Amino acid sequence: MVSLRNLAIGAILAVAGMAQNVAPGRVTGDTFTHDPTVVKKPDGSYIMAFTADNVGLKTSTDRTNWRDVGAAFPNGAPWTTPYTGGILNLWAPDISYHNNQYYLYYSASSFGSRRSAIFLATSPTGAPGSWTNQGVVVETFESDSYNAIDPNLIVDAEGDWWLSFGSFWGGIKMIAVDSSTGKRSGNQLISLAARPSVPDGPVEAPYITRHGDYYYLWVSFDKCCQGADSTYRIMVGRSTSVTGPYVDKCGKQMMQGGGTKVMSSHGSINGPGHNAVFTDNDGDVLVYHYYRDDGVAQMGINLIRYTNGWPVIY
């Protein structure tokens, strides 16, 4: 049972705007995940896409018990080979539902490389094997100062589509997307977040949400993929415009390394990060991965409330 004292401390921290590291909510079943993203289906059930061979998929009827159902591309994704060197692992998917179909943006690259691409696939059902490759949305080369991985689609209040992405180096970028095709529209490249004073600029995994009058840019700082030694932490900034500038609670711009900490390592929750956010009947929901002490990646799910316009995890 949670004590009244702990609840009081939590309330004080929330009002103060401090990051409150809390335990993930209860999840059961197939709980391994990495870079999770969730969409709620029209029938009320859920699909999770995550980093795995040919993009992994899970389903749930209650947001608690999850079941692996296979790969989005069970017959492989040979169109990604120029970027992966033949490695089956496809990274950081982003799943959403628009125009009566599911959209899956995902990354093809290799570790430490900027020869990367973000692809789009669409599906009428979201089920494994139902996805149609729609091709490259944006790509980068080793000569570029930014990296085309970790995509996230946001539809703004005016109905315009935008794709944010990026990892390390030059930071987080954004491009306009054509709502009829899901592909890039124009050549504009907008900068959203960077860490210019930190070697290699470790910021990645952007996810943009809208609540009230603000857009929130969620990112992960520092290093992932080192098991229990990972230093990932979830940060956030906000803006009244989807294209920024995004600032943290202290007013520091995210292009200058700003970000308000939402969650970091605590207890046996190591390196929480690469989060997504979706809205459910009981409010906004944060989904992320973390590492157990044995180094196995697990899904974390928590609810979000807003205090003075800033998200607090509980």
- Angle (CA) 95 134 98, round 5°: 40
Contact call for residues 102 and 39 (beta carbons, < 8 A): yes
Rounded CA separation 43/254 (Å): 38
Residue 298 CA: distances (Å) to CA of 32, 46, 50, 251, 270:
5, 17, 11, 33, 10
Residue tagged active-site, from 35, 94, 222, 248: 35
Give the dihedral sign, CA 173/83/224/67: positive
Catalytic residue at 139?
no
Rounded CA separation 239/157 (Å): 13
Residue tagged active-site, from 94, 150, 204, 248: 204
Rounded CA separation 265/257 (Å): 20
Rounded CA separation 279/302 (Å): 12
Catalytic residue at 30?
no
Show which residues are catalytic: 35, 204
